[in-house]
Chains A and B, each alone.
Chain A
Amino acid sequence: MNFNDKQLDRVLDNLSPELTPQRDLWVDIEPRLEDRPQHHAGLRTPVWAIAVSLLLCVSVVWWQVGDRPAGQSAVPLPDQLVDADFPRQWAEQQQAYATEIRSLSRMISDLEDRQKLILPDGIQQGLSGILAAEHSISKAIMQRPQSDLLTRKLSEVQAIHVSLLRRVVAEAV
């Protein structure tokens, strides 16, 4: 009898998806569970650090923008901001940042698709906090585009964002 593809498919379909081990494997598994490592131990601490940094950033934003009358800055403008080259440098920096975030996000999404990475809740909350802080500071910058403190804070939050994503990728790869 010649076996064709359909017949082979039928035979393969009939294979049981489950097989029972000949012995109870749990007895050997259970003792090994005691040494459960704390996952993302290296990432947990930074999440706390991130939370504190974000809190500081957001308070700075409120302090800067707050109810102050327009034009009254809490921090004196540094010389570098009147430098004519600053807008170009700032735009370049923002573009480089956006490119890096896009590339890291793609890598993370790819790793998630392949199930090589499942972001724990803590990291996701950290990322959401970072995005919220970036959004608030960016909004504040729109109101006070010449605020050195705000641009510096935005750069700091962006650096935290990039560093966290890099660590997530490094840990998964």
Chain B
Amino acid sequence: MLVLLSQVTQEKAVSQQTESQWISDAKAGDRAAFEQLYRGHVGRVYALCLRMVGGQVSVAEELTQDAFVRAWQKLARFESRARFSTWLHRLTVNLVLDDRRSQAKRLKQELHSDGHQERAADPLRRRPGICMDLEQLLARLPEQARRVLVLHDIEGYKHREIGEQMGIAEGSSKAHLYRARQLLKEWMA
């Protein structure tokens, strides 16, 4: 057991060392090193984007690409004392929230015109009680409530941090989370 633990610790140290090397190479302009960083982190970044935008694959893909392009541009600001994954994660959350804010008007219009049709055809609404895949249920949550739930319950952010990042009060963040959880429980029953 101890041997296994020490092996795991060693592997982790080696992988951290490798990542540090990739970071410093990428900082110096090495795109191959940056590709390694991309390969190592794309899964988490994409999952975050996809959940935050309610399962819209093409939007999530675009935001994931933007997140890595922005990470490349800002890499000089990254300091090795911070964890790269945490830094990248924060950068992605900021990017997604900024993007959503800037497109709020367009989204509102889309929801107004297409949303009604989409909702009418929503199998979940027609057949309440059906136990669908959780990812699909997350996508059905109201936008703000979904973002708060993703950030709080899945990504581990505090309400204070969510409030700051989303530009809402801490209390509103709690209210959105409560609503999201109530809806999920109702749908999963």
Contact = CB atoms under 8 A, between A and B. Distances in A.
Given A29-B69, A33-B72, A19 B47 contact: yes
A16 B47 contact: yes
A12 interface: yes
A173 interface: no
Contacts of A42: none
Contacts of B29: 36
User: Looking at chain A's contact residues, is the secondary structure mostly helix, strand, loop, or mixed?
Assistant: loop
A26 B134 contact: no
A32 B188 contact: no
A29 B68 contact: yes
A21 B34 contact: no
B153 A121 contact: no
Contact of A21 (B61, B72, B186): B61
B69 A32 contact: yes
A106 interface: no
Contact of A3 (B47, B86, B189): B189
A5 B31 CA distance: 45
B31 A33 contact: yes
Interface of A: 1-5, 7-9, 11-12, 15-23, 25-26, 28-30, 32-33, 36-40, 114-121
